[in-house]
């Protein structure tokens, strides 16, 4: 949405779209205020010889990058910055101290935020404030990332100005959950940053704490032929539907939606989200037999060209596709590839291996899996296949009403403090989950049937119920 009525605010293809120049904070002179020579001779305020060892080697060095920011801030001067000019220099100094001592110097927590929201800002304070006053406060602002993490440079440059003018000028692109992260600012800048973000960028902040966390998606139909549904649209739609859950904590703990367009799982929803939407199909894999022949004749590189760095020999469709198929549902007779689609479990291997010959089916939707989380507390869990197939079409009311609403109600009612959905499922059982959702059990929910026979029955399932008369029993079985 962005600012209501301004859904095309940044659209370069539209006349009158917003540009960086409309809202920029710094001038060109200010942005180009140092030379390469000055950068080479830059000396940080604090000694940082140990972390300067991390400037060596070919991989991009964050230390080199932070030094550049430190110099830029020094040249901008305090008058042009709303938090301390030395923030990057102090951060480098603090890192050096942590590298010397082998321990972090960030204090535990701190409740800060913007009016009316219970999330989106992470409070952070340094425990060496006298030595590093510029990072005494170093709060994080999580900014909602756009679907597919696509940007125009106008948008990014505006983000950069806000992050530098009111923050440290240091970011994460992106945080683990997916947000654009402004790393490090002072409490008095939180409201001004929020106003800049909402007014100038037209963007909201993301989730933190016991909220819905900022949902995230794979690149989906924007540039991938494997997208079984519109991950960007669904992510956006659900994010907007659940804005209240995202900003105002009402949950037992964090809750994550992630949207993977296919079973390859580029956004790792199956491992990282309480509710994972993974694209799938229910008709047949589309085969272009002519192109299969081209693969067999070695005219097209296997695996989308991703294996060309090494000589793996001539492509052997039997060994590399047919025999590796987990369900053995494919056949190759030397001329024609056939698939017994009813037996296919849509693992993607054949499609990944010959993407120009094979395509996902046309009747597509999502599988919904529930309960993934990292190890704290009961151990790591992946999400459980719960809804095998759902159509995923805007406005997604079938999924919101049929699944999400019921899950939120159950978890808010029954979940203990800091209990993730997966832990609630573990504690109360899949059998409770399916009652909540009003769905029958299916063998697809388990890897294999239970091996212990401790089966609970409901009283109404047992003729006569559980109320029995001991005297009547003793009539038949004397003591």
DSSP string for residues in 190-216? HHHHHHHIIIII---B---SSSB---E
Strand ranges across the sheet with 364-370? 216-217, 257-260, 275-281, 364-370, 384-390
Report CA-CA distances (Å) from 302 to 29, 291, 308: 50, 12, 8
Among 250, 283, 297, 312, binds other proteins (CB under 8 A): 312
Decide: is 453 part of the binding site for other proteins (CB under 8 A).
no
Q: Is 188 in the site for other proteins (CB under 8 A)?
A: yes
**Residue 293 in the binding site for other proteins (CB under 8 A):** no
Among 27, 43, 47, 50, binds other proteins (CB under 8 A): 50
Our finding on whether 211 is near other proteins (CB under 8 A) is no
Whole-number Å distance between alpha carbons of 50 and 286: 57
3-state secondary structure of 310: coil
Give least dist CB 253 to other proteins, A: 11
**449 binds other proteins, rule: CB under 8 A:** no
CA-based nearest residue to 218, from 180, 181, 178: 178
Cβ neighbours for 360, distance < 8 A, ≥ 6 positions apart: 225, 226, 228, 262, 279, 281, 285, 286, 351
Nearer to other proteins, 157 or 370 (CB): 157
The binding track of 225-264 with respect to other proteins, each residue x by CB under 8 A or -, is x-x--x-x---x--xx--xx--x---------------xx
H or E element in which residue 22 lies: helix 20-23
Pick between residue 400 and residue 406 the one whose CB is nearest to other proteins. 400
**List 15, 16, 28, 58, residue binding other proteins (CB under 8 A):** 58
Give least dist CB 119 to other proteins, A: 12
Residue 63 is classified by DSSP as H
Q: Which is nearer to other proteins, 309 or 440 (CB)?
A: 309
Site for other proteins in 323-362 (CB under 8 A): 324, 326, 346-349, 352-353, 355-356, 359
Q: How far is the CB of 164 from other proteins (least distance, A)?
A: 5
Q: Give dist(CA 60, CA 57) in Å, integer.
A: 8
Residues 8-47 that bind other proteins (CB under 8 A): 8-14, 17, 22-25, 31, 36, 39-40
395 binds other proteins (CB under 8 A): no
Question: Which residues ranging from 87 to 126 are in contact with other proteins (CB under 8 A)?
Answer: 88, 91, 95, 98-109, 115-117, 124
Q: Hey, what long-range contacts does 241-244 have (CB within 8 A, 24 or more apart)?
A: 241/400, 242/212, 242/404, 243/204
């Amino acid at each position: 949405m962005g600012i209501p009525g301004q859904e095309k605010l940044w659209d370069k293809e539209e006349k009158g779209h917003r540009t960086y120049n409309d809202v920029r904070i710094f001038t060109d002179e200010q942005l180009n205020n140092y030379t390469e020579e000055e950068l080479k001779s830059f000396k940080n305020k604090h000694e940082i010889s140990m972390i300067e060892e991390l400037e060596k080697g070919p991989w991009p060095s964050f230390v080199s990058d932070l030094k550049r920011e430190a110099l830029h801030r020094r040249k901008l001067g305090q008058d042009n910055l709303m938090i301390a000019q030395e923030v990057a220099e102090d951060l480098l100094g603090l890192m050096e101290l942590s590298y010397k001592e082998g321990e972090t110097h960030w204090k535990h927590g701190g409740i800060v935020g913007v009016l009316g929201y219970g999330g989106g800002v992470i409070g952070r304070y340094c425990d060496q404030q006298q030595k590093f006053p510029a990072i005494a406060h170093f709060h994080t602002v999580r900014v909602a990332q756009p679907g597919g993490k696509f940007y125009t440079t106008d948008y990014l440059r505006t983000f950069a100005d806000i992050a530098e003018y009111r923050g440290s000028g240091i970011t994460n692109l992106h945080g683990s959950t997916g947000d654009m992260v402004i790393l490090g600012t002072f409490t008095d800048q939180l409201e001004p940053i929020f106003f800049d973000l909402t007014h100038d960028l037209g963007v909201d902040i993301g989730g933190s704490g016991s909220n819905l966390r900022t949902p995230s998606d794979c690149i989906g139909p924007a540039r991938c032929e494997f997208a079984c549904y519109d991950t960007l649209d669904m992510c956006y739609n659900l994010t907007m539907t659940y804005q209240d859950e995202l900003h105002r904590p009402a949950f037992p703990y964090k809750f994550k939606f992630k949207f993977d367009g296919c079973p390859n799982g580029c956004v790792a929803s199956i491992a990282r989200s309480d509710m994972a939407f993974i694209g799938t199909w229910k008709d047949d894999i589309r085969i272009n037999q002519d192109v299969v022949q081209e693969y067999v004749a070695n005219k097209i590189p296997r695996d989308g060209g991703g294996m060309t760095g090494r000589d793996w020999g001539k492509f052997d469709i039997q060994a590399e596709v047919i025999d590796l198929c987990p369900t053995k549902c494919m056949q190759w007779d030397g001329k024609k590839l056939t698939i017994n689609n009813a037996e296919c479990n849509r693992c993607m291997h054949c499609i990944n291996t010959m993407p120009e010959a094979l395509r996902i089916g046309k009747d597509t939707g999502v599988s919904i899996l529930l309960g993934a989380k990292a190890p704290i507390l009961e151990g790591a869990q992946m999400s459980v296949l719960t809804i095998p197939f759902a159509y995923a079409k805007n406005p997604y009311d079938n999924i919101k009403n049929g699944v999400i609403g019921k899950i939120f109600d159950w978890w808010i009612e029954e979940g203990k403090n800091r209990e993730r959905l997966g832990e609630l499922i573990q504690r109360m059982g899949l059998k409770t989950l399916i009652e909540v959702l009003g769905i029958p059990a299916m063998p697809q929910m388990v890897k294999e049937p239970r091996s212990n026979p401790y089966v609970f029955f409901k009283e109404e399932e047992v003729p006569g119920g559980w109320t029995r008369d001991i005297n009547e029993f003793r009539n038949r079985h004397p003591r």
